[in-house]
Amino acid sequence: MKFTLKITSASILFAAFMSSSFAQEIPARAGTVAAENSGAVTVSAKPAVNSVDIAKKLANPIANMISVPLQYEFSRGVGRNQGGSEQTLLFQPVAPFNLGGGDVFIVRPIIAGVRETSVQTAPGQSFSGYGIASVTLESFYAPNTNSSWIWGVGPYAQSPSGNSGKFGSQQTGAGVTGVVLNRQGPWTYGLLGYQSWNMGGNPAFGTQNNLYGQPFVAYTNKDAWTYTANMEALYNYDAHRTTNPLYVGVSKLMVFDGVPVSFGAGPIYYVSNTPGGPSGWGARATATLVILK
């Protein structure tokens, strides 16, 4: 009986203690919510995205930033009679690896899908179809220069990836890439290029003995609009010919729920071209997803 009374008394005391604690906890939580609503307590939020800085980095091919560009290009004047057209879709993600001390190693794989329409291959014969043109790997070791001028250099490789010859060379190429540029205020300008040599394969549809040079200039304003111009000259040592498209375009960086995405477009004009290659006017459009670390 005494034991039962002790248990009952302990239960009553414990219940009274919990009721008192719970009653005190409710006003405390209510006070915290009121303080958050009044601004007295700061609630952590996502860091602000610097659109202008990201837009400028996108103009820099060796920026320490992960990006995933998709580029669509339409060209005309293709084929022996220049009556065909070509559509190209490039998938070219950029992946930087920090080496310490501000040095980075940039890897940029490029996969090119092509669709050709009514391209004359011989008198009275034309081709329409689509496929993978090539798989390219560009890479750059970019040391920290502590300057607005930066540079990068690295190995280059290109595989025909089962190309039938309808969409370019069936040879494998290897060589070296290089870039030098300046980031001065809103301006980004420089020169990117590569030297490629034939490593074997069928030379009937073109060789990989190429020299490529791309001078470029970009201006980014305070509203994250970027105005770009570049020339992409590709000289083939065996054909002794150069294809040289000039591109002028504009892009805008937008932020969707903290995710930066850049959209751009502009015309292309082929200053010179190889026989059967694109000529005259064309157009290009890009969409680039930026992945913030």
**Cβ neighbours, 10 Å, residue 172:** 18
Res. 182: pLDDT tops 70 = yes
**Residues paired with 76 in a beta bridge:** 85
Q: How far apart are the first and last CA of the chain?
A: 69
Q: How far apart are CA 108 and CA 142, in angstroms?
A: 13
pLDDT of residue 37: 53
- Tens digit of each residue's pLDDT (9 = 90 or more) over 99-121: 999 999 999 999 999 999 999 98
- CA nearest to 94, candidates 59, 60, 57, 69: 69
Query: Nearest-CA neighbor of 102 among 139, 133, 62, 43?
Result: 62
Instruction: Using pLDDT thresholds of 50, 70 and 90, give the confidence band for residue 45.
Output: low
Q: 226 and 59 in contact (C-beta within 8 Å)?
A: yes
pTM of the full structure: 0.81
By the 8 A CB rule, do 208 and 198 touch?
yes
Q: What is the dihedral of CA 275, 280, 283, 288, to 10 degrees?
A: 50
Tens digit of pLDDT for each residue in 59-69? 999 999 999 99
Tell me what pLDDT residue 163 has: 72
Q: Which two tokens stand for residue 159?
A: 């595989």
Q: How far apart are CA 205 and CA 169, in angstroms?
A: 5
Quick: pLDDT tens for 221-267.
Answer: 999 999 999 999 999 999 999 999 999 999 999 999 999 999 999 99
For the segment 275-291, the average pLDDT, to the nearest whole number, is 95
Return the ∠ at Cα 249 (arms to 178 and 116), rounded to 5°.
80
Q: Is residue 38 exposed (0-12), middle (13-18) or buried (19+ Cβ within 10 Å)?
A: exposed
pLDDT at 258: 93
- Overall average pLDDT of the 206-234 stretch: 97
Instruction: Give the percent of the chain with pLDDT over 70.
Output: 84
Determine the pLDDT at residue 165. 75
* CA–CA dist 186, 189 (Å, integer): 10
Q: Is residue 11 scored above 80 in pLDDT?
A: no
The answer to whether the CB of 12 falls within 8 A of the CB of 3 is: no
Residue 43 has pLDDT above 50, yes or no: no
Report the alpha-carbon distance of residue 249 to residue 105 in Å, rounded.
Answer: 28
Q: What is the torsion angle, in degrees rounded to the nearest 10, for the CA atoms of residue 236, residue 85, residue 231 and residue 71?
A: -110
